[in-house]
Amino acid sequence: LPLPERSLISRIRQQQRSRLPNRSRFSNGGKGGRVIAGIGDDCSILRVPSGHEALVTTDFSLEGVHFRREWHPPESVGHRCLARGLSDIAAMGGEPIAAFLSLALPAKLAQGWVDKFLQGLLKLASDFSVSLAGGDTSQSPNGVLADIIVVGSVPKDKAVLRCGARPGDRIYVTGSLGGSAAALDVLYSGRVLKAGSYPSHFRPVPRVKAGQFVRSKGWASSMIDISDGLSTDLSHLCEESGVGAEIESGAIPRATVGSPARQVDIQFALHGGDDYELLFTSSKAIPSRIAGVTVTEIGRITRGKAILLINNSGAKRRIRPEGWQHFRS
């Protein structure tokens, strides 16, 4: 490895030590000794709990596509990078075990930026007892390039897939929607924004516990995370399940953001991505709060293939996926 890469690895190791006490390469780090060997060999070694299957997800966070350095503080970029992966594990009802980071940095990037990026990532990892167990480092020809891989586990045959929704099932979402898109709207307009007033954009919380809860109860017939926007992700779920849906405009929980705080426009809640809430279907009535997060019924699965939006006066119109196009750079 060239020297810049070696020093990056040292930095990652140091960050790990400071954030995740009592962890070393062969410490059997993570929950229940599931990371046998981490950064420093050709591969990392993980132990998947007996009777469980492994879950694997990968997500790019590319400068200019998924974030901008002039808009996003480095801690937020690191946080969002890992949140994307954890949210995918949540959407299967799984438990995250370890994260792997492939990180390419431009030659001129300030060390402080990288340190804060890793701080943001490792703080979220620590919150979810996830080890950063390996990855790759490289010089980048242009911009910061990150790819996060999260490996998790789920009891055998119990993963909640996208394809299980059945006509008549109720449709639920966790938390509230559109807060992340509302932040982007402000950023695009060039107006000033207080990051703390838009937590769902700068520090989204992946719904790992809620996903595990509905999976363990056997409540969800299908599940997906809302990364591309409700209209797009609901259409993915319906397509994989071979069904349609009707959702009530007035029932969609809209995020409250900004300062002074206000509820976001319905368009952001319908089509805005990157909120990392869960969308799931169930044949049962679900409590309105699970694992510390609100759960809202927003509609029903139907036999047809269309996705219909019902407004407050009962009129129905077909909606099409208009999800997340990332940054229009």
What is the binding site for a second copy (CB under 8 A)? 1-2, 36-37, 40-48, 50, 53-60, 62-66, 87-89, 91-92, 94, 98, 100-102, 104, 133-136, 138-143, 145, 147, 149, 151-152, 154, 156, 159, 161-163, 223-225, 228, 232, 240, 323-326, 329
Cβ neighbours for 21, distance < 8 A, ≥ 6 positions apart? none
Of the pair 120, 211, the CB lying nearest a second copy is at 211
Burial grade of 199 (CB within 10 A; 0-12, 13-18, 19 or more): middle
Instruction: Find out whether 152 and 61 touch, Cβ atoms under 8 Å.
Output: no
CB of 282 to a second copy, least distance (A): 17
CB of 60 to a second copy, least distance (A): 5
Of the pair 150, 257, the CB lying nearest a second copy is at 150
Q: Which of 97, 80, 227, 206 is nearest to 162 (CA)?
A: 227
Q: Which of 89, 158, 92 is nearest to 124 (CA)?
A: 89
Bridging pattern class, strands 95-105 and 52-62: unpaired
Of the pair 125, 154, the CB lying nearest a second copy is at 154
Of the pair 3, 192, the CB lying nearest a second copy is at 3
CB of 199 to a second copy, least distance (A): 23
Q: Which of 257, 243, 234, 249 is nearest to 303 (CA)?
A: 243
Tokens of 241: 């399940």
CB of 97 to a second copy, least distance (A): 9
The CA–CA distances, whole Å, from 127 to 22, 88, 123, 156, 304 equal: 16, 17, 6, 26, 42
Instruction: Find out whether 15 and 52 touch, Cβ atoms under 8 Å.
Output: no
CB of 315 to a second copy, least distance (A): 29
CB of 151 to a second copy, least distance (A): 6
Of the pair 77, 257, the CB lying nearest a second copy is at 77
Of the pair 230, 257, the CB lying nearest a second copy is at 230
